[in-house]
């Protein structure tokens, strides 16, 4: 085995230990296209686009490392009548090394007008997580080590989250949320796999500038705080041309730089892609991360075509 391949396995082992087994690791999925996937982190967003919005995302992180993280998410949200109530459903699956975690949740929101053009929404999220860890996928020196003898199978824990989302109809938004208020211990029967779900707090915001009749510019940010991990800050800048094609860049503090693009293929379909280049030492041993996003919308009662809003 070459030195480079050996280093790959060492880095992967470190990541697995920090992300899967460390009680205070940063555990929620991360997204580069967070501006298009708001529902999964903030329940107050559901219904805000005033139509049925179905979103799918796939993220493959650290390409080239065996067992590197993969995330799949599928969500849908829609308004319930004209009383300011929104509802959403979401499913998220995270895979890393020997572990998989499935998250299923229901979101409800209530929106009130704050001014002629802005609205404030309150959101509630409820659901559950299911954790599985297959220790047979690890290379264990002592096969009979009792800490790795029993797999974790469908370890279920509840989740309750809240969020606030204040936005203007076309220009700006800001939101504060936590997808799960419960600090849950998934497994604590041995010293190795002591996994605790920590509370994550998200702050998001963005503003759309009209540079011309055909060009819009939107800077946006996401800040994530979690006990035991450094503050995570993402900033992005996107240009949208003729309400069809979007091109931009993003930076995750001390972690990665990214390129983003999206296409509004029709009134109902939008597809997006992002590539992350890892700026940490781990970047020497992987080929970056890929993220693909798809949004499908229909049944608007407000407009004859899909809302051109840039968030």
How sure is the predictor about 191, in pLDDT bands with cuts at 50, 70 and 90?
A: very low
Q: Looking at the predicted structure, is the pLDDT value of residue 148 above 80?
A: no
Q: Looking at the predicted structure, is the pLDDT value of residue 160 above 50?
A: yes
For CA atoms 8, 14, 19, 25, give the dihedral sign. Answer: negative
Instruction: Provide mean pLDDT across the span 82-100.
Output: 92
**What is the reported pLDDT for 24?**
36
Residue 39 in domain: yes
How sure is the predictor about 98, in pLDDT bands with cuts at 50, 70 and 90?
A: confident
Q: Residues 10-27: pLDDT tens digits?
A: 445 545 445 444 433 445
**What is the reported pLDDT for 183?**
73
pTM summary value: 0.84
Residue 311 in domain: no
Residue 301 vs residue 22, higher pLDDT: 301
How sure is the predictor about 305, in pLDDT bands with cuts at 50, 70 and 90?
A: very low
Domain range spanning residue 168? 3-298
Instruction: Provide mean pLDDT across the span 140-158.
Output: 70
- As a dihedral over the C-alpha atoms of residue 304, residue 308, residue 309, residue 311, rounded to 10 degrees, the angle is 120
Whole-number Å distance between alpha carbons of 268 and 49: 13
Structural contact between residues 175 and 162, judged by C-beta atoms closer than 8 angstroms:
no
**What is the reported pLDDT for 26?**
45
Mean pLDDT rounded to a whole number for the chain? 84
Q: Residues 215-268: pLDDT tens digits?
A: 999 999 999 998 778 889 999 999 999 999 999 999 999 899 999 999 999 989
Q: Looking at the predicted structure, is the pLDDT value of residue 169 above 50?
A: yes
CA angle 131/12/34 to nearest 5° reads: 60
Helix locations, the chain, DSSP H: 3-16
Whole-number Å distance between alpha carbons of 182 and 179: 9
Residue 47 in domain: yes
Which of 27-36, 75-84, 126-135, 189-198 has the weakest average pLDDT?
189-198
Residue 204 vs residue 229, higher pLDDT: 204
How sure is the predictor about 163, in pLDDT bands with cuts at 50, 70 and 90?
A: very high
- Six token digits for residue 271: 């597809």
Q: Residues with Cβ < 8 Å from 146, sequence gap 6 or more?
A: 190
Whole-number Å distance between alpha carbons of 45 and 47: 6
**What is the reported pLDDT for 8?**
47
Residue 310 in domain: no
How sure is the predictor about 214, in pLDDT bands with cuts at 50, 70 and 90?
A: very high
The Cα-based distances of 211 to 27, 135, 295 in angstroms read 38, 54, 25
**What is the reported pLDDT for 139?**
63
**What is the reported pLDDT for 206?**
96
For CA atoms 111, 115, 116, 118, give the dihedral sign. Answer: negative
Instruction: Provide mean pLDDT across the span 275-301.
Output: 89
**What is the reported pLDDT for 144?**
62
**What is the reported pLDDT for 309?**
80
How sure is the predictor about 143, in pLDDT bands with cuts at 50, 70 and 90?
A: low
How sure is the predictor about 203, in pLDDT bands with cuts at 50, 70 and 90?
A: very high
Total number of domains in the chain = 1
Domain containing 157 — which CATH number? 2.40.160.40
Residue 306 in domain: no
Residue 252 in domain: yes
């Amino acid at each position: 085995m070459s030195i480079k391949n050996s280093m790959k396995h060492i880095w992967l082992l470190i990541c697995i230990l920090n992300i899967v087994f460390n009680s205070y690791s940063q555990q929620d999925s991360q997204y580069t296209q967070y501006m298009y996937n708001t529902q999964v982190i903030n329940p107050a967003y559901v219904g805000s686009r005033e139509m049925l919005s179905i979103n799918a995302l796939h993220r493959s992180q650290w390409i080239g490392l065996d067992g590197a993280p993969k995330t799949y998410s599928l969500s849908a949200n829609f308004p319930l009548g004209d009383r300011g109530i929104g509802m959403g459903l979401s499913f998220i699956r995270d895979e890393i090394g020997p572990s998989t975690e499935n998250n299923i949740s229901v979101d409800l929101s209530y929106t009130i007008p704050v001014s002629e053009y802005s609205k404030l929404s309150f959101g509630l999220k409820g659901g559950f997580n299911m954790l599985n860890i297959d220790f047979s996928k690890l290379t264990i020196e002592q096969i009979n080590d009792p800490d790795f003898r029993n797999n974790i199978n469908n370890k279920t824990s509840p989740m309750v989250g809240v969020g606030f989302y204040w936005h203007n109809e076309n220009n700006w938004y800001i939101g504060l949320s936590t997808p799960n208020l419960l600090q849950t211990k998934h497994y604590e029967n041995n010293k190795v796999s002591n996994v605790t779900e920590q509370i994550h707090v998200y702050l998001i915001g963005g503003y759309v500038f009209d540079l011309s009749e055909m060009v819009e510019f939107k800077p946006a940010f996401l800040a994530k705080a979690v006990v035991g991990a450094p503050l995570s800050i993402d900033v992005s800048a996107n240009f949208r041309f003729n309400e069809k094609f979007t091109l931009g860049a993003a930076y995750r503090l001390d972690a990665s730089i990214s390129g983003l693009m999206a296409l509004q293929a029709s009134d109902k379909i939008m597809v997006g892609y992002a590539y992350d280049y890892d700026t940490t030492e781990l970047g020497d041993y992987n080929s970056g991360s890929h993220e693909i996003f798809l949004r499908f919308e229909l049944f608007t009662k407000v407009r004859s075509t899909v809302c051109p809003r840039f968030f």
